[in-house]
Amino acid sequence: MNPRVVPPAATLQAASAGTAACGGRDVVEYEPCVGNQAVADGGVRRRRPPRLQICLGSEPAAFSEARSSLRECLVKWGLEPFADRAVLAAQECLANAVLHGCRGVEPGESEVTLTAECRTSVLWIGVQDPSTELPLRRDAGVTSESGRGLCLVDGLTDGWGTISSTLGKTVWFELDISGRKAAR
């Protein structure tokens, strides 16, 4: 499966726009994923999917809380059958964001943001880092110690891609939840 570079429309806004200051867990919507909540937008009603957003520093130590928060959120949204795949793929994206996306940046001077959205038929998860350099999927050799992250993301998910912005990039993936049963 090749990555798609078509950004989901609801994710184009900056990760910090309309949310509390980064540095901790920020739950924008945290309710069962049984349909999307109607939101008034300048007199026009539109649907906004339940959403979790976590802003982390660029240290791997913050991953444990992010994984736990994501798993907890997915359970509350009724998506527990998808939690293992989603958390593992998110962990790989977080690791790549810190290892590659924050390369050359002093710890504490950059942020990595994990966003999860429960849409009608798709669970969308993105990891934003400050680098504009797009990820490259590599074919790691049998004895290589690294280079398998995007291959894992590709194998665990139903699609993935990147979004470039002035804030850096977001590597995202989707899981098809239309049947609400984990297929794998």
The model's pLDDT over 79-109, given as tens digits with 9 standing for 90+, comes to 999 999 999 999 999 988 888 777 666 666 6
Question: In this predicted model, what pLDDT tens digit does every residue of 143-174 receive, in sequence order?
Answer: 666 667 888 899 999 999 999 998 899 999 99
Domain boundaries, the chain: 23-176
- Judged against a pLDDT cut of 90, whether residue 75 lies above it is answered with yes
Q: Superfamily assignment of 23-176 in CATH?
A: Histidine kinase-like ATPase, C-terminal domain (3.30.565.10)
pLDDT the model gives residue 119: 87
pLDDT the model gives residue 179: 78
The Cα 56–Cα 22 span in angstroms is 7
Report the Cα 93 to chain-centroid distance in Å: 8
Name the 3-class secondary structure at 55. strand
pLDDT the model gives residue 108: 63
pLDDT the model gives residue 100: 79
53 versus 120: which is more confidently predicted? 53
